[in-house]
Amino acid sequence: MPYRVSVLLCSLALAAVFTVIGWNLYRQVDAYFDSEIARNNIRFHNIYTVQNEVQARRSQALAYSISTHTEIQRLFSEASEAARNDRKHSGNLEGAHTARVRRIFQGQVKRLWDELHGNHEVKHLQFLFPDGTPFLRMDAPSIFDDTYVAERPMLAGIMRDRRPRGGFEVGHTYAGIRGIVAAERAMPDGSERLVGFVEVGFDMNALLNRLDKQLDIGMALLLDSAQVSGIMLERYRPATETRQSFILAASRPEAADWLKAGLLPVRKSALQDQRHIFPWKGRNFHLIAFALDDYRSQLDPQSSPPGTVLVWRDITTRVKRLDEDRAAAIINTFVAWVFAQIFLFALLYVLRNVWERQLKRNTATIEKLSRHNALLLNTAANGICGIDKDCSITFINRAALAMHGFRPEEVMGKKLLALFYRHDFDGGADPEKISPVIQTMKDGMPHEAEEWLFRRDGSRFPAKVAVTPILEQEQRNGAVIVFHDITEQRNRQEALLQLATTDSLTGVSNRRHFLDLLDAEQARHRRHHGQASILMTDLDFFKGVNDKHGHAAGDAVLSHFVHIVRQTIRRSDIIGRLGGEEFAILLPGDGTDGAFEFAERLRRTFENNPTRIGKTLIACTVSIGISDLRSGDKSADAPMRRADVALYAAKAAGRNCTKIYASAMRQTDFGMKATKSDRSKQ
């Protein structure tokens, strides 16, 4: 082959090689820039989501602290009563009595409102009646009596079950993150009555400004005019508005200019653009847009979000550096090709050095990125860990290690289920039945669940677990698990349940809970036709105990009686306090004969064991009436009424005795009326 042809072929081959190299370098620069943009999209989305949840919990906490204030509960109760009277006479809430109570209420909470508004970034404080009608808005005191339960699923939900709620929601006078709790007032009989709801909302501008200062980013909340116009009153909407949307809050003024210029992504299709970069007044901005999820869209993912969250950064310097990197890739490749044509062997040496420098630069970049990601993981409050396709742990943050009590070397590469699960909810050995981790690894879909996770010492704690698959080139290569300890939430729920179902003095079932249990036993009795009896007990001359020894001593006698009952009954038997010194005992599986033996044993034990208070012994006796449960009983009132008649018979027979209901018994036969006061005197 001629030399010139060989040189030409080598030159062409070398040119082709360097053309490919230059193209790859150019694409690497763009790929790194795209990955940086994508990471920022995820990072800022997660930061906003976490801040949203934190503000929602904080608003619920503030609302709860206000709802437990005794004076506010009293005024709330008085306002409810005034509103009922005004509605009855005038059909609205503009009566003089309600207006006076509103002025007093507003004056009482004015100082609290000033403190919340000035020190806690609270923009919205609202008090609502039990039917959802606003009674007083501290941020808009002239707007009230505008019922809009149907427009607010958060309000409708708490009216249904009284459980606290929080999240972003749009109302008549305020749109933002709010929390709402039920205000319940303790009644003299020990029960609690709903007097209304307390709602607290935060200033979204303050939240966005704080994030702006912390992260050096601009943020804005864009609301859809079509969705909000039917809910939010026009005079309470922000001034910056177009036909499609308006800005609810913004940390920087560019958002208003962009909205007027039509540059903001107001259509849903624009939310899919992950690299939205545009020039503005000689600067380049990266705009991130994602759906503004509100409480309604969280309940129904198919519903349309009310708006858009916008995050933007000035990346003029970064875009300039990107252009410089692109130009550098092209120039360096061309210079390398020229030197390769002149000094082929020398060029090989130069290329080796160039690749070494590039490798060091890329390695340093990757190390920096790894440190940055590790910092994000380790500063997160939630536990975060990653697993591969075999469910082996590939990374874990400090919060997760702290929750479980492990050291990093003890978990890396180990099976997640063997370390953190061990058992399912029922104590079995197969966590795969319910684990969202296994579900995600099987179907490739995100899953959430509340589960029991285990610590290194074998103890366990309840946690909210969210699992998201890791998809690479449409292949599932593992998953990311995010979880947090919900022990405090569980304890709070159990405490509320205990408060709602038990008597605060004696610890037994209160009247409402006992009646529910009696209804359930009657349903079983009608299905299976078994035996069951109910005892009505009343302490004899209990009023005399209170009058002679004081109410504290009377409470001690009641507690002593319950203690004796608990030592006498079986685990399946149920005791409830109906009021005052009157108790009812349900004996499933026992007919009246067995119930009579139990009642006599209880009566004699209580008679022979007086209550000891210091050195004082207080003797007391009990009268007992017994009735069986019958398949024809339509409600809990029927057996209780029969047992009550038998109780009157025991009272009439001289007290301190037990009577079984007979069809010939009538309350009028004993000359007594079924009132609590009469029974106390006996």
Whether 427 has a pLDDT exceeding 70, the answer reads no
The CB density around residue 6, as the number of other CB atoms within 10 Å, is: 10
Mean pLDDT within 352-377: 75
At the fourth CATH level, which superfamily is domain 382-487?
A: PAS domain (3.30.450.20)
The secondary structure of 221-267, three-state, reads EEEEHHHHCCCCCHHHCCCCECCCEEEEEECCCHHHHHHHHCCCCCC
Per-residue pLDDT band at 367 (split at 50, 70, 90):
confident
Q: Do domains 47-324 and 502-681 have the same CATH topology?
A: no
- Which pLDDT band, with edges at 50, 70 and 90, does 5 fall under? low
Q: What is the pLDDT of residue 675?
A: 39
Averaged pLDDT, 135-139: 87
What would be the CATH architecture of the domain defined by 47-324? 2-Layer Sandwich (3.30)
Tell me if residue 563 falls in helix, strand or coil.
helix
Beta strand 611-613 with 616-618: parallel, antiparallel or unpaired?
A: antiparallel
Catalytic one among 432, 581, 582, 607? 581
Write down the pLDDT at residue 584.
Answer: 93
For residue range 70-102, list pLDDT tens digits in order.
888 888 888 888 877 777 766 555 667 778 888
> Residues 109-130: what's their mean pLDDT?
90
Query: Could you read off the pLDDT of 208-225 as tens digits, one per residue?
Result: 999 999 989 999 998 888
Give me the pLDDT at residue 90, please.
63
pLDDT tens digits, 334-348: 888 888 877 765 555
- Ordered by start, the domain boundaries in the chain are 3-46+325-378, 47-324, 382-487, 502-681
**Residues 528-541: pLDDT tens digits?**
777 899 999 999 99
36 is catalytic: no
Confidence of residue 472 (pLDDT cuts 50, 70, 90): confident
26-45 residues labelled b (16+ CB within 10 A) or e (exposed): beebeeebeeebeebbebbb
From CA 640, how far away is CA 660, in angstroms rounded?
Answer: 12
Lowest mean pLDDT among 52-56, 76-80, 193-197, 247-251: 76-80
Over residues 379-415, the pLDDT tens digits come to 667 888 888 878 888 888 888 787 887 888 878 888 8
Residue 195 · residue 72 · CB < 8 Å: no
Give per-residue pLDDT as tens, 252-262. 988 888 888 87
pLDDT digits (tens, 9 = 90+) for 27-42: 898 888 888 888 888 8
Looking at the predicted structure, is the pLDDT value of residue 242 above 90? no
pLDDT of residue 677 exceeding 50: no
Looking at the predicted structure, is the pLDDT value of residue 623 above 80?
yes
With a cut of 50, say whether residue 264 has pLDDT above it: yes
CA R_g for the chain: 36
pLDDT of residue 95: 65
How wide is the angle at C-alpha 582 spanned by C-alphas 581 and 583, nearest 5°?
120
- How deeply is 96 buried, as exposed, middle or buried, from its count of CB atoms within 10 A (0-12, 13-18, 19+)? exposed
Domain 502-681 superfamily per CATH: Reverse transcriptase/Diguanylate cyclase domain (3.30.70.270)
Helix, strand or coil for residue 165?
strand
> Percent of the chain beyond pLDDT 70?
86
The tens digit of pLDDT for each residue in 140-177 reads 888 776 777 888 899 999 999 999 999 999 888 888 99
pLDDT band per the 50, 70, 90 thresholds, residue 198: very high
pLDDT in the model for residue 429? 43
The reply to whether the predicted model has a pTM over 0.85 is no
- Structure confidence by residue, pLDDT tens digits, 559-580: 999 999 998 888 888 899 988 8
Residues found in the chain? 682
